[in-house]
Amino acid sequence: MVPSLTFISILSVFADLKKDDPNTKIVAKFLKNVLAIIGFGFLIYGIYKLVVDYADFFTLSNLKSFLLPPLFTIIFLPIIYYTVLYIKYEKVFGNLRRYKFLPLERKKNIRSSILRYAHINLNHLENANKIILFKKRDLQNETDIKSYLRKNVKLKQNA
């Protein structure tokens, strides 16, 4: 069954690629209808088996197999977010470390201000990175660096 469905699907894709010829349009439409009928057949068979033999369907094992993938996805999303956040912080602080014209104490103040005002917001962190990359003179000359960063990190900057 699987090889024949694969073959029909491949034929359908190739028929879709050659839409210039009216014969291939007919073939593509026919193959799509065949795949739709087979799909509806599988759906009807599944519903039939569910109604007739519901005791086999409603088991703890099936419940686990249905609920685990969404649960794993929900658990994995924060891990991805915090990994991206760590990478962005590393990029910002790496750009800051490169600058030899800033004294170490000033770099520490800038770093702590970025941590305080960007928090876990990726857009604010990107704004901080733009400030570090493009406003070097402001970082060097600004007297109150904390208020400057608080004001500019949280701004919505146009890309």
Cα–Cα distance for residue pair 111/149, rounded to 1 Å: 10
State whether 17 and 45 are in the same domain.
yes
State whether 11 and 48 are in the same domain.
yes
Helix (H, G, I), strand (E, B) or coil at 110: helix
Q: Is residue 143 part of a domain?
A: yes
Mean pLDDT, residues 17-36 = 88
State whether 142 and 72 are in the same domain.
yes
Helix (H, G, I), strand (E, B) or coil at 120: coil
Task: Note the pTM of the prediction, 2 decimals.
Answer: 0.61
Give the model confidence (pLDDT) of 111-137 as tens digits: 888 888 888 888 888 888 888 888 877
> How deeply is 114 buried, as exposed, middle or buried, from its count of CB atoms within 10 A (0-12, 13-18, 19+)?
buried
User: Is 69 in contact with 49 (CB distance < 8 Å)?
Assistant: no
pLDDT of residue 159: 45
Give the model confidence (pLDDT) of 70-110 as tens digits: 999 999 999 999 999 999 999 989 988 888 888 888 888 88
Helix (H, G, I), strand (E, B) or coil at 101: coil
Cα–Cα distance for residue pair 129/145, rounded to 1 Å: 15
> How deeply is 33 buried, as exposed, middle or buried, from its count of CB atoms within 10 A (0-12, 13-18, 19+)?
exposed
Q: Is residue 141 part of a domain?
A: yes
The total of structural domains in the chain comes to: 2
Q: Which of 58, 84, 104 is the last residue of a domain?
A: 58
Give the model confidence (pLDDT) of 141-151 as tens digits: 767 777 778 77
Q: Is residue 159 part of a domain?
A: no
Residue range(s) defining the domain that contains residue 123: 67-153
Cα–Cα distance for residue pair 4/106, rounded to 1 Å: 69
The 10 Å Cβ neighbour count of residue 52 is 10
State whether 100 and 74 are in the same domain.
yes
> How deeply is 130 buried, as exposed, middle or buried, from its count of CB atoms within 10 A (0-12, 13-18, 19+)?
middle
Cα–Cα distance for residue pair 49/51, rounded to 1 Å: 6
Q: Is residue 90 part of a domain?
A: yes
